[in-house]
Amino acid sequence: MGVPFIDLKAQYERIQEDVNAGIQGVLEHGKYIMGPEIAEFEAKLAQFCGAKHAITCSNGTDALSLGLMAYDIGPGDAVFTTPFTFFATAEVIALAGATPVFVDIDPKTFNIDPDQLAKEVSRVNKEGKLKARGIIPVNLFGLAPDFDAIDAVAEEHDLFVLEDTAQGFGGLYKGRVSGSLGDISSTSFFPAKPLGCYGDGGAVFTSDDDLAAKMRSIRVHGQGSDKYDNVRIGLNARFDTMQAAIMLPKLAIFPQEIALRQEVASRYTNALSEIVETPFVPASYQSVWAQYSVLSDRRNEMQEALKKEGIPSVVYYRIPCHLSKAFDYLGYGEGDMPESERASKRIFSLPMHPYVEPEFADRVAQILSSI
């Protein structure tokens, strides 16, 4: 059998008794929608990341949509984001009727480049065709972007910051926990994420009482005083009680798993630094290592060599969002985002989870060095 890219089975074996007990508890009380485990999980999530409010929802995409809808984003609005991310980050902007404006990445961190961001915001404001409203920076592969610089741009131009920490929840930025770095922050509990459930799920975070109340309303069809009092257009975006019961024991061991991820990443870096370009983590940051992604001009050969040895590798992201067919209408083309395009041709990710065996990094290094 091949090596798992993400080993959810090893994690389950560690917390099997608590997970099963949680599921059984839901089966016994029968409150499958918005049961008591939801409130318990939300309280512990908020405490973990330092946000005042945590609001669970159906998936990471809906989490982003909740954030945009809380700011009444719509036609004529411009929202700035990176093209080097999963499609959903930009998709939700278009779904809201607004216009995604892409900003190229820092080639070292793969995150949105604050200097390019400032230029793009100024360009949009000067042209006057769209109203600049907000920024969605992405914590790519588990690493936060430069929020101090992003926040400076946001403050200068009166923009909101919606942190997309689907891959980065639990990482650190200058002592602050990801999930509390934006005016609103969003995350995903897709099973492959560092903190993932056994299905779909997500959450939004904020310390603004009014935004929190609005997102709670939007989450359930825009409800007011009760579910038949609809005060705004909303979504059906509730988190599942069963998943909350599963996530409680997962969250309990999450700090230990983050520490284990640091060890795995360190072993990879020590073994591979002379063979490929290994990830860069700035001082005073801590990645949560959703992925361990490396760069090489010989990517295809290396991936094939790993495959022959039963070791999976994945390319995130082969097509940057600005070159996706779905965004043809925006008018971007080859060469518009050179750093994102360059990375997409050279990057690949190796198996990453807390339970990677200590000797595995040396095995990968031996295979890649033969290339």
Note the helical H segments in the chain: 8-29, 36-49, 60-70, 88-95, 114-127, 147-157, 209-219, 241-272, 299-308, 338-346, 360-369
What's the confidence (pLDDT) of residue 1? 56
As a whole number of angstroms, the distance between CA 356 and CA 337 comes to 34
Q: What is the chain's length?
A: 371
> In this structure, are 262 and 242 located in the same domain?
no
Contacts of 308 (CB under 8 A, 6+ apart): none
Whether residue 312 lies inside any domain: the answer is: yes
- Residues 227, 265 within the same domain: no
Helices 241-272, 360-369: axis angle to 10 degrees equals 50
72: left (phi over 0), alpha (psi -120 to 50) or beta: left
Does residue 161 share a domain with residue 53? yes
Nearest to residue 85, comparing CAs of 105, 69, 71? 105
Verify that 95 and 159 share a domain, yes or no.
yes
CA distance 343 to 320: 9
pLDDT of residue 2: 77
Q: Same domain, yes or no, for 75 and 144?
A: yes
The CATH number of the domain where 318 resides is what? 3.90.1150.10
- Distances, alpha carbon 215 to alpha carbons 70, 159, 320, in Å: 6, 19, 30
- Residues 208 and 67 placed together within one structural domain of the fold: yes
Domain annotation covers residue 180: yes
Asked if 165 and 179 count as a contact pair (C-beta separation under 8 A), the reply is yes
**Which residues are CB-contacts of 349 (< 8 A; sequence separation ≥ 6)?**
141, 291, 292, 293, 294, 313, 314, 315, 316
Tens-of-pLDDT digits for all 371 residues of the chain? 579 999 999 999 999 999 999 999 999 999 999 999 999 999 999 999 999 999 999 999 999 999 999 999 999 999 999 999 999 999 999 999 999 999 999 999 999 999 999 999 999 999 999 999 999 999 999 999 999 999 999 999 999 999 999 999 999 999 999 999 999 999 999 999 999 999 999 999 999 999 999 999 999 999 999 889 999 999 999 999 999 999 999 999 999 999 999 999 999 999 999 999 999 999 999 999 999 999 999 999 999 999 999 999 999 999 999 999 999 999 999 999 999 999 999 999 999 999 999 999 999 999 999 98
As a 3-state breakdown, the chain gives helix, strand, coil percent values, each rounded to 5, of 45, 15, 40
Residue 133 φ then ψ, to 5°: -120, -40
Determine the Cα–Cα distance for residues 190 and 215; give it in Å rounded to an integer: 20
Quote the number of domains for the chain.
2
Domain assignment of residue 228, yes or no: yes
With beta carbons less than 8 A apart as the criterion, state whether 117 and 80 touch. Answer: yes
* 3 assigned to some structural domain: no
Closest to 177 (Cα-Cα) out of 354, 312, 262, 51: 51
Please work out, in degrees rounded to the nearest 5, the angle formed at the alpha carbon of residue 307 by the alpha carbons of 272 and 323: 80
2 found inside a domain: no
* 340 and 237 fall within a common domain: no
Instruction: Give just the sign of the alpha carbon dihedral 213, 218, 220, 222.
Output: positive
Q: Calculate the CA 85 to chain-centre distance.
A: 9
How many other CB atoms are there within 10 angstroms of residue 85's CB atom? 27
Q: How many other β-carbons are positioned within 10 Å of the β-carbon of residue 32?
A: 11
Containing domain of residue 364, as a range? Answer: 254-369
Pick from 208, 224, 248: which residue ends a domain?
A: 248
Say if residue 47 is in the same domain as residue 114: yes
Closest CA to 337 of 126, 120, 189, 150: 120
Q: Which of 206, 225, 248 is the last residue of a domain?
A: 248
Same domain, yes or no, for 308 and 203? no
Q: What angle do CA 22, 23, 28 make, to 5 degrees?
A: 95
Q: Return the pLDDT at 33.
A: 96
Indicate if 208 and 298 belong to the same structural domain: no
CATH number of the domain residue 165 falls in:
3.40.640.10
Residue after which a domain boundary falls, among 248, 265, 280:
248
Q: What pLDDT, on the 0 to 100 scale, is given for residue 371?
A: 87
243 with 270, same domain: the answer is no
**Cα–Cα dist 215/205, whole Å:** 10
In-domain check, residue 282: yes
Same domain, 239 and 168: yes
On whether residue 220 sits in a domain, the answer given is yes
Classify residue 1: in a domain, yes or no: no
